[in-house]
């Protein structure tokens, strides 16, 4: 069987290694030109190109906007794949690409489809405070993560999980387990194809503006945003502004108002800095108090936020 993988990041690396272990005939490895920045992720763990080159596999790196273009479609046709395996590859394949492989195109999505269709479902799982998530392996069609389901597996979400630990560690481990179970069925043309219930579908996308903290939300909601986006996730961290300067908030903690803090919340504006403590910055929210334990100025990372705030005597409002 001739296989083309269209994969990125650590799920892509894990799948590639598993296929190599099984001695499958990989006729092409397609990955984004950027893959993942070496400065952000360990290349040995997350670089698809590196694994492919080490195993003498042909690598193709078209820009995402050219995937459905005529030139790359001709390349895929020339590879004559029986199966295309996709993972962490955020491009909607055209009808022409979907029709190339005899066994279809199989994708891995980081949610219990039809919930959380779209981009970065792992982030939204944390942001929305979910306690359980899932991995779905499904056939691709022309829609957004709407193809027939082959198999699903649950993933527990811990209160201390971040977007990185969930999306790049837990999801990838579970996805590999599920891939090992389903790949033989796909290869033998025995894999089920269960239609999704579109009425239960939810859709999410990601834009950088979503990372800005809305202080009118509850302390719990803001904390979930912070832990979803904290390093080393490539989303780059939640942010707010202090006197016109952008602050990245990397860590936070919801403070119980029952612990002698209830008096601090009265008549305070959401986003108001209530104090600089030994543990961090205490901030009022729309509901409850949030302690910012790790944050930095985006432009001047050497400038200490806490020292800066201690010099200011007027009320400070983050926004």
188 and 46 co-located in one domain: yes
Report the percentage of the chain scoring pLDDT > 70: 90
Residue matched to tokens 């269209």: 6
Q: Is the pLDDT of residue 260 over 70?
A: no
Report, as an integer, the average pLDDT of 192-212: 96
pLDDT for the residue 132: 96
Report, as an integer, the average pLDDT of 199-216: 96
Q: Is the pLDDT of residue 262 over 80?
A: no
- Specify if 319 maps to a domain: no
Q: Could you tell me the CATH number of the domain that includes residue 178?
A: 3.40.50.170
Rounded Cα distance, 50 and 298, in Å: 31
Predicted model pTM: 0.90
Rounded Cα distance, 238 and 255, in Å: 19
What pLDDT band is residue 38 in, cutting at 50, 70 and 90?
very low
- Specify if 170 maps to a domain: yes
pLDDT for the residue 243: 83
> Which among 37, 57, 40, 45 is positioned nearest to 14, based on CA atoms?
45
What pLDDT band is residue 261 in, cutting at 50, 70 and 90?
low
Encode pLDDT of 268-279 as tens digits: 799 999 988 888
Question: What are the DSSP E strand ranges found in the chain?
Answer: 2-7, 25-30, 59-60, 83-87, 105-109, 117-118, 132-139, 149-156, 203-204, 238-242, 245-255, 273-276, 281-284, 289-297
Q: Which of 113-122, 254-263, 266-275, 306-315 has maximum average pLDDT?
A: 113-122
pLDDT for the residue 283: 95
Residue that terminates a domain, selected from 180, 203, 226: 203
Encode pLDDT of 80-92 as tens digits: 999 999 999 989 9
Q: Is the pLDDT of residue 41 over 70?
A: no
Q: Please, what is the angle between helix 9-21 and helix 171-187, to 10°?
A: 40
Encode pLDDT of 123-152 as tens digits: 999 999 999 999 999 999 999 999 999 999
Least confident segment among 5-14, 136-145, 255-264, 306-315: 255-264
- Specify if 271 maps to a domain: yes
163 and 197 co-located in one domain: yes
Rounded Cα distance, 197 and 214, in Å: 33
Q: Is the pLDDT of residue 314 over 60?
A: no
Give me the number of domains the chain comprises: 2
69 and 172 co-located in one domain: yes
Quote the mean pLDDT of the chain: 91
Residue that terminates a domain, selected from 203, 219, 235: 203
Q: Is the pLDDT of residue 37 over 60?
A: no
Q: Could you tell me the CATH number of the domain that includes residue 266?
A: 3.10.25.10
Rounded Cα distance, 250 and 298, in Å: 11
Least confident segment among 17-31, 226-240, 253-267: 253-267
Least confident segment among 212-221, 230-239, 305-314: 305-314
Q: Is the pLDDT of residue 230 over 60?
A: yes
pLDDT for the residue 39: 46
> Which among 119, 87, 85, 82 is positioned nearest to 100, based on CA atoms?
82
Range of the domain at 179: 2-203
């Amino acid at each position: 069987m001739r296989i083309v993988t269209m994969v990125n990041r650590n799920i892509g690396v894990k799948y590639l290694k598993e296929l190599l272990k099984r001695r499958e005939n990989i006729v092409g490895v397609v990955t984004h030109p950027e893959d993942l920045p070496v400065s952000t992720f360990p290349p040995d763990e997350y670089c698809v190109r590196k694994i492919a080159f080490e195993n003498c596999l042909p690598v193709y790196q078209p820009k995402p906007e050219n995937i459905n273009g005529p030139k790359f479609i001709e390349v895929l046709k020339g590879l004559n794949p029986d199966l295309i395996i996709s993972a962490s590859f955020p491009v909607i394949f055209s009808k022409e690409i979907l029709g190339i492989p005899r066994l279809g195109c199989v994708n891995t999505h980081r949610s219990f489809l039809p919930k959380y269709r779209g981009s970065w479902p792992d982030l939204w799982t944390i942001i929305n405070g979910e306690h359980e998530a899932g991995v779905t392996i499904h056939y691709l069609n022309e829609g957004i993560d709407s193809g027939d389901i082959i198999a699903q597996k649950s993933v527990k979400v811990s209160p201390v999980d971040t977007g990185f630990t969930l999306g790049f560690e837990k999801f990838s481990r579970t996805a590999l387990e599920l891939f090992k179970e389903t790949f033989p069925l796909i290869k033998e043309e025995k894999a089920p194809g269960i239609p999704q219930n579109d009425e239960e579908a939810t859709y999410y996308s990601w834009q950088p503006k979503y990372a800005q903290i809305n202080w009118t939300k509850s302390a719990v909601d803001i904390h979930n945003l912070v832990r979803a986006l904290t390093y080393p996730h490539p989303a780059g961290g939640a942010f707010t502004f202090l006197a016109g300067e952008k602050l990245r908030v990397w860590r936070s903690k919801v403070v119980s108002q029952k612990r002698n803090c209830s008096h601090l919340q009265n008549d305070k504006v959401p986003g108001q800095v209530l104090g600089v403590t030994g543990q961090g910055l205490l901030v009022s929210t729309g509901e409850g108090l949030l302690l910012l334990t790790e944050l930095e100025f985006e432009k001047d990372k050497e400038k200490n936020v806490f020292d800066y705030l201690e010099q200011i005597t007027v009320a400070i409002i983050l926004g």
